[in-house]
Amino acid sequence: MRRCDLPARDLRLLDPLFVYPSTILGREKAIVVNLEQIRCIITADEVLLLNSLDSYVLQYVVELQRRLKATGAGDVWQSESRDFADVSRNSSSDYLPFEFKALEIALEAACTFLDSQAAELEIEAYPLLDELTSTISTLNLERVRRLKSRLVGLTRRVQKVRDEIEQLMDDDGDMAEMYLTDKKLRMDSIYYGGDQSVTGYRSNDGLQSASAPVSPVSSPPEYRKLEKSISFARSRHDSMRSSESSKQNIEEMEMLLEAYFVVIDSTLNKLTSLKEYIDDTEDFINIQLDNVRNQLIQFELLLTTATFVVAICGVVAGVFGMNFPITLFDNPTAFDWVLFITGVTGLVIFCSFLWFYKSRRVMPF
């Protein structure tokens, strides 16, 4: 906290015992980064990393060292620490300060990690969904359920990174806070410039006192008044120059964030397309299940109608089964006629029901 001038709540974002969403915070002397596996504090001179034995963190360190060696950043920073006048020569269009390079590699690592997970999910999802459309089983449904839960979790993480980058791009003040090197150089120039002005004034004061005596009572107030006026003019000049330079230099951070915003937005579009494909597959399965359910209902309706017709035959059998004497029982062909008339009547009733179902479009005949 003393080293990077950070409050405790910012450091809690990096606590490995807690799970916090992806966050990028710009502070006065540091940038707090919590992006997936990369949890670090970036200053103008160094990067403080957690989980140094993690493979992703090791890849981050190797990539940062490689880029710093490739661009010769170490020599640049040494020359800047010796002479502040070289800043204007080094600040070209393709020049990025140390904190930007560290932040860029962190964004690249997070976007690459999320994109690789999205690609693996796509490779696993599409064949499984195609298999589910052809064979609806409990095992396939359970696999799709697990796949969808993974998709929802990954989408939330990607959405959080995208929202964080978009929030930074919308706020110019937060982007300006991330120019740690410029702020450090301005503070050092003010500090060393102030010392030089005081030394020069004292030397002039000494020369003046050697040539002409000055009252010891009146010289300190004039010295303090002159020092205040010099510091006030320098602070106004530095603030105006820093505001102009921040408007110009903020485009570097904006372009950097915009590049990775496009990458993470592409990953989010992949996951959105996959979710839509899963939703389409679920709709297709629901349509298939509804079709099977409708066929079962139609079959049940036919069985109910046939049972009703058979029940009519049962009523006739029950009536003639009663113990009462009639002359019809003495006719030897009466039994055949009863069966024939009952069967024809049942068939006519059954056909009438089928015609009714067809007229009402209950069944597609």
What local confidence, expressed as pLDDT, does residue 215 receive? 39
pTM: 0.69
Cα-based distances in Å from 341 to 306, 312, 318, 346 = 17, 12, 15, 9
Roughly what angle, to the nearest 10 degrees, separates helices 219-320 and 180-211? 170
Average pLDDT, rounded, for the chain: 79
Q: What percentage of the chain has pLDDT greater than the value 90? A: 36
198 has pLDDT over 70: no
Over residues 155-166, mean pLDDT: 94
CB 222 within 8 A of CB 73: no
Distance, in Å, from the CA atom of 343 to the CA atom of 305, rounded to the nearest integer, reads: 15
CATH 3.20.20.70 assigned to domain 8-73+97-186+254-289? The reply is no
pLDDT tens digits, one per residue of 95-136: 688 899 999 999 999 999 999 999 999 999 999 999 998 888
Over residues 9-17, mean pLDDT: 84
141 has pLDDT over 50: yes
What local confidence, expressed as pLDDT, does residue 115 receive? 94
pLDDT tens digits, one per residue of 79-96: 343 333 333 333 333 468
Q: What stretches of the chain adopt beta strand conformation (E)? A: 23-26, 31-35, 38-42, 47-49
Sign of CA dihedral 55, 61, 62, 67: positive
pLDDT tens digits, one per residue of 258-315: 999 999 999 999 999 999 999 999 999 999 999 999 999 999 999 999 999 999 888 8
CB 133 within 8 A of CB 278: no
What local confidence, expressed as pLDDT, does residue 80 receive? 41
User: Pseudo-torsion of CA 206, 208, 214, 218, nearest 10°?
Assistant: -80
pLDDT tens digits, one per residue of 19-72: 888 889 888 889 999 988 889 999 988 999 988 788 888 999 999 999 888 876
